[in-house]
Amino acid sequence: MKAGTTTSIKRMIRTEGFPTPFCPGCGHGILLGAILRAIDELGWSMDDIVFVSGIGCGGWIPSPHFAADTLHVTHGRPVAFATGVKLYNPELKVVVIGGDGDIASIGGNHLIHGARRNLDMTVICANNGIYGMTGGQVTPTTPRGARTVTTPQGNPDRPFDLSRLVAAAGASYVARFSVFHIRQLIRAIKTALEHPGFSFVEAISGCPVQFGRRNALDTPVEMLRYFQERCISIARARVLPPEQLEDKIVIGEFVR
């Protein structure tokens, strides 16, 4: 089968993982396809990769969907389990996939120390700015002012700029794209997978059900338009004054 086709990624999917646990319009589904297309385009075998995820909708991207070895572990701990996998068998490609809660909230300490130690693994964060699976609570990446079930008047806190945080902690490859920017996202995932050392891809994803409906972005299309309008490249952001950057999402490769 030709690499990079929908037909060829079907062999990478576990049919018993369907019907999918994702809600209609979930951005994590787009990210799921992007990860498989990246692996397919690299010509890698799923047998050479171990996927590790914690709890949350983001954690469901590899498990139950991927026809591969997957470890579905405790919430916030996938980087720690992934470290163990890599130590046991350094030949394996180890890929952590999880939500912003899993990776950057409860799992934030493992994330920054993994980056600091430049562990040889790829971490992909499905950042939808909310605890999707548990009903829509605020997370460390929820934009300021956004309404969630725990911030009904709008989030008063400044969010983490996750990619810059991980870059500052020492990761040797860091990129952020949204699920709207699908070709760039696939390219970044491919670069991350091939990169020796700690590589991090922040995939801005949409949760129309828990985030969108509370923030006037009820449909999947509105969520994608929101990413289209808000995202600007690192180069463009560099020449904008800080006040014009407040509601923007800067995308691109932060460390290469």
Residues that bind ligand TPP (CB under 6 A): 55-58, 75, 98-102, 106, 126, 128, 130-134, 139
Of the pair 25, 56, the CB lying nearest ligand TPP is at 56
Of the pair 39, 125, the CB lying nearest Mg ion is at 125
Sign of the alpha-carbon torsion through 61, 40, 47, 16: positive
Compute the CA torsion angle 155, 158, 164, 167 (nearest 10 deg).
Answer: -100
Task: Assess 253 for contact with Mg ion (CB under 5 A).
Answer: no
Judged by CB under 5 A, the chain residues 64 through 123 that form the site for Mg ion are: 99-100
Task: Assess 53 for contact with Mg ion (CB under 5 A).
Answer: no
Which of the choices ligand TPP, Mg ion, none does residue 32 contact, using the CB cut-off of 5 to 8 A by kind?
Answer: none
**Which two tokens mark 189?**
């995932």
Q: At what angle do helices 108-116 and 78-88 cross, to 10 degrees?
A: 40
- DSSP designation for 66: B
Q: Is 5 helix (H, G, I), strand (E, B) or coil?
A: coil
**Residue found by looking up tokens 């808000």 in the block:** 230
- DSSP designation for 58: G
Amino acid identity, residue 179?
V
Considering the complex, what minimum distance in angstroms separates the CB of residue 125 from ligand TPP? 9
Which of the choices ligand TPP, Mg ion, none does residue 61 contact, using the CB cut-off of 5 to 8 A by kind?
Answer: none
Give the interface segment with Mg ion, choosing from 10-18, 24-32, 130-138, 244-252 (CB under 5 A).
130-138
Task: Assess 202 for contact with Mg ion (CB under 5 A).
Answer: no
**Which two tokens mark 1?**
């089968």
**Residue found by looking up tokens 């909230």 in the block:** 105
Task: Assess 212 for contact with Mg ion (CB under 5 A).
Answer: no
Task: Assess 63 for contact with Mg ion (CB under 5 A).
Answer: no
Q: Which residues bind Mg ion (CB under 5 A)?
A: 99-100, 128, 132
